[in-house]
Amino acid sequence: MPFQSNVPPGELSEKWKQYRSSMPLVAPNNKRRLEVIIVGTGLAGGAAAATFGELGYKVKVFTFHDSPRRAHSIAAQGGINAAKNYQNDGDSIYRLFYDTIKGGDYRSREANVHRLAEASVSIIDQAVAQGVPFAREYGGLLSNRSFGGVQVSRTFYARGQTGQQLLLGAYQSLSRQISLGNVQLFNRHEMIDLVMENGKARGIIARNLLTGETERHAAHAVVLGTGGYGNVFYLSTNAMNSNGSAAWRAVKQGAYMANPCFTQIHPTCIPVSGEYQSKLTLMSESLRNDGRVWVPKSQEDAAAIREGRKTGLDIAEDQRDYYLERRYPAFGNLVPRDVASRAAKTACDEGLGVSPTGLAVYLDFDAAIQRYGKSRAHSLNEYSADDQRIRELGVAVIEEKYGNLFEMYEKITGEDPYVMPMKIYPAVHYTMGGLWVDYNLQTNVPGLFAIGEANFSDHGANRLGASALMQGLADGYFVLPYTIGTYLSQEIRNPMVDPNGPAFMAAEAKSQDRIDRLMAINGTKSAEAFHRELGKIMWEYCGMARNAEGLRKGRKLIRELRKEFWSDVFVPGRIKEYNPELEKALRVADFLELGELMMLDALDRNESCGGHFREEYQSEEGEALRRDDEYAYVSAWEWDDDEPILHKEELIFENVELKTRSYK
Amino acid sequence: MDNMKLKLRIWRQGGKFPKGQFVNYDLDGVNDHMSFLEMLDVLNEKLINKKEDPIAFEHDCREGICGTCSLVINGYPHGPMQQTTACQLHMRNFRDGDTITIEPWRSRAFPIVKDLVVNRDSFDRIIQAGGFISVDTGQAQDGNAIPIEKDQASHAFDAATCIGCGACVAACPNASAMLFVGAKVSHLAQVPQGKVEAETRVQRMVAQHDAEGFGRCSNITACEAECPKGISVEHIARLNRQYIGSTLGSEKVAN
Amino acid sequence: MATSTAKRTVSRVGWFGKFLTSSIGQKIIMSLTGLFLITFLVVHLIGNLQLILGNDDGYAFNSYAYFMTNNPVIKTTSYLLYAFIILHAIQGLLLWSQNRKARGDQKYAVKVDRTAGGSKSSIYMGSLGMVILAFIIVHMVQFWGQMHFSDSIGPFTAEGYEGAKDLYALVAATYENIGMVIFYVVAMVFIAFHLWHGFQSAFQTLGLNHKKYTPLIKAVGYVYSVLVPLGFAIIPIVMYLRHQGVL
């Protein structure tokens, strides 16, 4: 199978423009005859489906949700980056490109990232035209905020619900195409296999989740916009139903999985409260603008807090360790996500954690409340305001800025964060890894494309804040609609693909057989129980810090668990009915293979970079040690039940110099 | 409190209960830090371990934004806490020994799929009827070309924050979806980009709302009370205004 | 199969028919007829207060009634009034049945009635309306019907009112009966509740919701829905008490 990045030649800043102007096109009369299947209706899939419909292709779009609007893109809070330079603070396409490459710890492809930065500008225009109610200044122009440790203000936002508003924009455009008959929507349909014919992706087998029937759907090309696989950890900030199965089904058909071990652990999440915990809730990164992270200096104090004998308020100022400020004076509490997460883990590993589980640190707003309170008192001419009044004024400012987040925190934990310092802990949030794609976003399987979080392409080893929305929409609106032409222009002579052909019948039979086998096990443990166990293994051995020994052990444990799963899982209900437990079991079965590949990939990568921290490779101060001479490549894994095969795509950096990230 | 005992009275429909009925379950060992859905997870895990059919309920993001969860808890859509989705509701809001009744959204336009799961395709069809701005990708002018007054953008957001869960319909004694329709019409009518098609949009969306079999609004305001995003009925007033202006005041006849 | 595609029915009723039969159109019918009836109630009350304002053995009231039944403009308006009452009632019943159907066959087992500013009456507008309709029928038969079709009412003998009937006597006779007094007073309570929601709801339906003016509309509505039914209710009480010689 082909394995070339297909990056066009030319100057970095001109590549995309030139390529776009010279790539093969499909004439309108042919577009009507070409069918495209899109799986997933999040920012990437939804945007692509709408745009393909507008262009005139025959589109079928699939989502396992009841409505395209429920895709997990909806939960993104903070914002979306774009190199508009509306703030006149020195931003540019190059700077956004550079920040993204650097933030990704130099493990992404230059040309793709630059194209992303170029497209970012059009996304904002498009979203505004769709009616997305971005935050505005008094003069009526778009407002920006700073985010994720970069030095410019380039993040556009709609309160704390930017993802929701952007997704609804895409959903509405998609709805328009559905009403025009250009796009056919298959909601409550889950892709359970990819169909290959003569080495090309030709369609999918989908399960109608209402009836349990399997269906065969054929097309000239298949696009996966199915999101990330963070739920392999069981506990993550992903939605409960987010899964890696569509991508994994493609891998089983020969698509390569790239950099699977690159997972982003977000530092500010609400800690786990018990074994029953089903998911983790993210608190926006913006909180670190005003919150100070600390743990007690002494283990005795930490133990006292854990046992409920003391609270954070009882620890005197000089007994607190503001460890981020201490270790990274230049960036302080605003270090990138991977650095902040690891530092929290280190503190808790030293026995300084502050929740009953020992896995939490404080995020304290007291200093900010005091600071804002004094400043507000000053501007109100209340020069002799007492402490209580200052506090009151400060709380009001914090409430204006973060009110909804504080409220959410209180709902979930039952503690008032205006009084008690918040407790936070890192949690799995995003997967930078994904299906390997070339510059055209085509996987190594001809006719199979991957967009958004489902591909690996733009974020390297660590994603910057407010970049996920940007990438999903860039892929869906402004990249794939062009690049898919390079493939479909070759398909104009091929007639409609027959969904009753032998390849389809065989694929359907295989899918049904897999479901039958699963149901026939009739064991003793629920899929959920296996998933929880898998998550524990992943978190323990392939989490925030990894080492060779642990990864080997983890891989072994997963293989054992997989075996147990296939002999002891119990799936209630019947096949041909609405059966969420069966859906879950099918997804867990795939996670049990994907998890193994993640261990393998982490084991192969003998360096620390971005979200991947190998304990063996750290500096004397405990910072990540990247090894560019040996590991500046993309790992693209070909699945094999016993020994997956590694293919390497060397990363060539012609425009940026590889430097060690330092936030000290 | 980590050992609450609860009596659950849950609507089951489909499978063993073709016509639908309440089934009682006793659940103990409930921790008050659990979310409401985690409490149901625990119950389901117990049912599965007994090889019984677990209770079907829909959920996804569990952080109050996807709009998937759809439980009527003790008569309240999304439970007794206002501006809180069922997934964000925590067991500390209940007491040891409580009896909790859980029902699905009840509306002719939301037929039951199984147990507590309903089909909300009708909402999608209302949006398809006109809840969009007709702009193709790549046609847009610069985002700052048209200034929008800060407060107006903010009011548009207040309507756009709708998560499409259907609690308004579930809460409305008339099972009307006017708050859902009003929120979208109001959102798009308040941004200049959306004004272009406002007249057609409102006629088509209202027609689709009616065709789906939702009830008629009689300004009870239960929808606003139960809306997890607190969307105000003033958006229904704007919808009415738009509708009157469009049908009687403009030359547009949308079909 | 794809499950979600907007189905559209082609309407044969024309744009205005479509408007009137749409959910909002139906509500606008309720709102406009309601507002008309609200205005009518004031006129009706002013007239009725003639029953008790003077102690003139019905002169003021009878002359008022004569004017009302003989002035061609008023007569025309009264037919409009009957039509609107009927329209309001029929449309209301239709909405009530549609809304019941929209809930589906299975009702909620646990019922709560939390609203955001809407009164409890808003939930029971249909039931309140049906009681009021029944009242209006009784009321019409009792007075309007007798006035038009009964021979037993004596003449109103005053200069310039030839052929007029002594309606005051009819009313006074009716309110000698304590049962009737109670019936009318209770009916006014129902009307008060109906108006409590109906007044402000009529404005909301017309889209007249405004941060600055809505509080005023609501306040006027509450004052109206208490004072007007109270005004009506006082009449039978006063007349009864006068007959009893208490007043």
Same domain, A475 and A393: no
Contact map slice: A 24-83 vs B, CB within 8 A: 47, 50-51, 54, 65-70, 72, 74-75
Q: CB–CB of B207 and C113 under 8 A?
A: no
Q: Residue A142 has which token pair?
A: 């778009």
Give the distance from CA C119 to its chain's centroid: 19
If residue A465 lies in a helix (H) or strand (E), which one and from where to where? none
Of B33, B41, B147, the CB nearest to A141: B147
Active site residues of A: 337
Q: What's the pLDDT at A334? A: 83
Q: Do B133 and A172 touch (CB under 8 A)?
A: yes
Instruction: Provide the pLDDT for residue A50.
Output: 98
| 3-class DSSP assignment, residue B68 | coil
Q: What is the mean pLDDT of residues B70-75?
A: 98
Residue range A575-599, pLDDT digits in tens: 999 999 999 999 999 999 999 999 9
Q: Cα(A430)–Cα(A48) distance, rounded to whole angstroms?
A: 21
For residue C6, the chain A residues in CB contact (below 8 A) are 178-179
Instruction: Give tens-digit pLDDT for B99-121.
Output: 999 999 999 999 999 999 999 99
Query: Are A186 and C3 in contact (CB < 8 Å)?
Result: yes
* C-alpha R_g of chain B: 21
Q: What CA–CA distance (Å, rounded) separates A540 from A558?
A: 12
By C-alpha distance, the chain C residue nearest A68 is C4
- Same domain? For A415 and A437 the reply is no
Mean pLDDT of B43-49: 96
Same domain, A308 and A236: no
Name the phi and psi angles at B67, rounded to 5.
Answer: 80, 15
* CB interface of A with B, residues 299-328, below 8 Å: none
The tens digit of pLDDT for each residue in C153-198 reads 888 888 888 888 899 999 999 999 999 999 999 999 999 999 999 9
| Residue range(s) defining the domain that contains residue A416 | 266-428
The contacts found for A454-457 with CB under 8 angstroms, 24 or more apart, are A454/A40, A454/A44, A454/A224, A454/A225, A454/A226, A454/A227, A454/A228, A454/A246, A454/A247, A455/A258, A456/A258, A456/A259, A456/A262, A456/A432, A456/A634, A457/A108, A457/A109, A457/A112
Please name the residue that has the structure tokens 């293989």.
A559
Task: Calculate how close chain C gets to B223, using CA atoms only, in Å.
Answer: 7
Identify any residues that bridge with C150 across adjacent strands, giving them in sequence order: none
Contact assignment for C204 to B219 by CB distance below 8 Å: yes
- How far is the alpha carbon of C9 from chain A, nearest alpha carbon, in Å? 14
Cα distance between residue B240 and residue B250, in whole Å:
14
User: How far is Cα A39 from Cα A48, in angstroms, rounded to an integer?
Assistant: 10
Q: Where are the domains of chain B?
A: 4-114, 121-249
State chain B's mean pLDDT as an integer: 96
Q: Cβ contacts (< 8 Å) between A50 and chain B: which residues? A: 137
Q: Which phi and psi angles does A67 have, rounded to 5°?
A: -145, 145
**Are B108 and C104 inside 8 Å of each other by CB?**
yes
User: Is residue A35 classed exposed, middle or buried when 0-12, 13-18 and 19+ CB atoms within 10 A define those classes?
Assistant: buried
In chain A, positions 515-554, which contact chain C (CB-CB < 8 Å)?
none
Asked whether residue B90 carries a pLDDT value surpassing 90, the answer given is yes
Q: Which of B137, B163, B180 to probe by mutation at the A interface, max A CB count within 10 Å? A: B137
> Residue A583 maps to which CATH number?
1.20.58.100
Instruction: Say which residues have a Cβ less than 8 Å from residue B77's Cβ, sequence separation at least 6.
Output: B70, B71, B105, B167, B170, B171, B226
A273 and B CB contact within 8 Å: yes
Could you give the number of structural domains in chain A?
3
- Predicted local confidence at residue A148, as pLDDT: 66
Q: Which fold has domain B4-114?
A: Ubiquitin-like (UB roll) (3.10.20)
Question: A531 at the B interface (CB within 8 A)?
Answer: no
Query: What DSSP line would sit under B200-243, residue for residue?
Result: HHHHHHHHHHHHTT-----S--HHHHH-TT---THHHHHHHHHH
The arithmetic mean of pLDDT across residues C55-84, rounded, is 90
Half-sphere exposure of C143 (CA within 13 A, CB side): 18
CB-CB under 8 Å, C122 with B210? no
Nearest to B64 by CA among B184, B224, B228: B228
The pLDDT, as a whole number, for residue C149 is 87
Using a CB-CB distance cutoff of 8 angstroms, which residues of chain B are in contact with residue C26?
216
Of A84, A130, A175, the CB nearest to B127: A175
To which H or E segment does residue A108 belong? none
pLDDT at C2: 46
**Nearest CA-CA distance, residue A187 and chain C, Å:** 7
In this predicted model, what pLDDT tens digit does every residue of C21-37 receive, in sequence order?
999 999 999 999 999 99
How far apart (Å, rounded) are the C-alpha atoms in residues A479 and A474? 6
Cβ-defined contact of A173 to B132 (cutoff 8 Å): yes
CB contact under 8 A, C23 and B216: yes
Is residue A113 located within the same domain as residue A60? yes
Query: Cα separation of C175 and C235, whole Å?
Result: 9
A557 and A595 both lie in a single domain: yes
Q: Do B106 and C108 touch (CB under 8 A)?
A: yes
Q: Do A210 and B121 touch (CB under 8 A)?
A: no
A363 inside domain: yes
Task: Inform me whether the C-beta atom of residue A176 falls under 8 Å from chain C C-beta atoms.
Answer: no
| Ranges in chain A, pLDDT < 50 | none
* A80 domain-assigned: yes
Nearest to B33 by CA among A275, A284, A532, A416: A275
Least Cα distance to B114 among B193, B155, B53 occurs for: B53
CATH of B121-249, one of 1.20.58.100, 1.10.1060.10, 3.90.1150.10, 1.10.260.40: 1.10.1060.10
A79 and A160 belong to one structural domain? yes
Please report, for residues A69, B207, C144, the alpha-carbon distance to residue B200 in angstroms, rounded to integers and kept in the order given: 23, 11, 47
Shortest CB distance from C4 goes to which of A60, A181, A185?
A185
- Is A156 found in the same domain as A23? yes
Nearest Cβ partner of C114 from B9, B225, B255?
B225
Q: Which residue stretches of A489-526 are H helix?
A: 502-521
Q: Is B82 left (phi over 0), alpha (psi -120 to 50) or beta?
A: beta
Q: Least CA distance to B173: which residue of chain C?
A: C123
Which CATH number does the domain housing residue A166 bear? Answer: 3.50.50.60
Are C5 and A188 a contacting pair at CB < 8 A?
A: no
pLDDT of residue A2: 61
Which residues pair with residue A207 across a beta bridge? A190, A214
Q: Are residues A121 and A258 in the same domain?
A: yes
A82 in Cβ contact with A156 (< 8 Å):
yes
How many CB atoms are located within 10 Å of the residue A369 CB? 22
Neighbours of chain B (3+ CB pairs under 8 A): A, C
A414/B contact by beta carbon, under 8 A? yes
Q: Are residues A205 and A331 in the same domain?
A: no
What is the full DSSP assignment across B165-205? --HHHHH-TT---HHHHHHHHHHHHTSHHHHTTHHHHHHHH
What CATH number does the domain containing A303 carry?
3.90.700.10
Q: What average pLDDT does range B176-189 have in this prediction? A: 98
Question: Does A560 share its domain with A587?
Answer: yes
Note the maximum CA span of chain C: 83
Question: How many angstroms separate the CA of residue C104 from the nearest CA in chain A?
Answer: 21
Q: Which helix (H) or strand (E) holds A581?
A: helix A580-604
Model confidence at C1, in pLDDT bands (50, 70, 90)? very low
Distance CA A239, CA A262 (A): 19
Report chain C residues touching chain A, CB-CB < 8 A: 2-6
Q: A84 and A209: one domain?
A: yes
Inter-chain residue contact A184 with C3, CB threshold 8 Å: no
Residue A194 identity = L
On chain B, the residues whose CB falls within 8 A of the CB of C118 are 219-222
Of C22, C116, C211, the CB nearest to B225: C116
A-C interface: how many C-beta pairs under 8 angstroms? 18
The answer to whether A159 contacts chain B (CB < 8 Å) is: yes
| CATH for the C24-101+123-243 domain, from 3.40.470.10, 1.20.120.350, 1.20.1300.10, 3.40.50.720 | 1.20.1300.10
**What's the length of chain B?**
255
The answer to whether the CB atoms of B174 and C23 lie below 8 A apart is no
Per cent of chain B over pLDDT 70 is 100
Are residue A631 and residue A571 in the same domain, yes or no?
Answer: yes
Q: Is A62 on the interface with C (CB under 8 A)?
A: no
Q: Judge: C4–A179 Cβ closer than 8 Å, yes or no.
A: no
Distance of alpha carbon C198 from alpha carbon C124, whole angstroms:
11
Sorted by where each begins, the domain ranges of chain C are 24-101+123-243
Q: Are C102 and C126 in contact (CB under 8 A)?
A: no
Q: Which of A69, A176, A186, A209 should we substitute to test contact with C (largest number of C Cβ atoms within 10 Å)?
A: A186
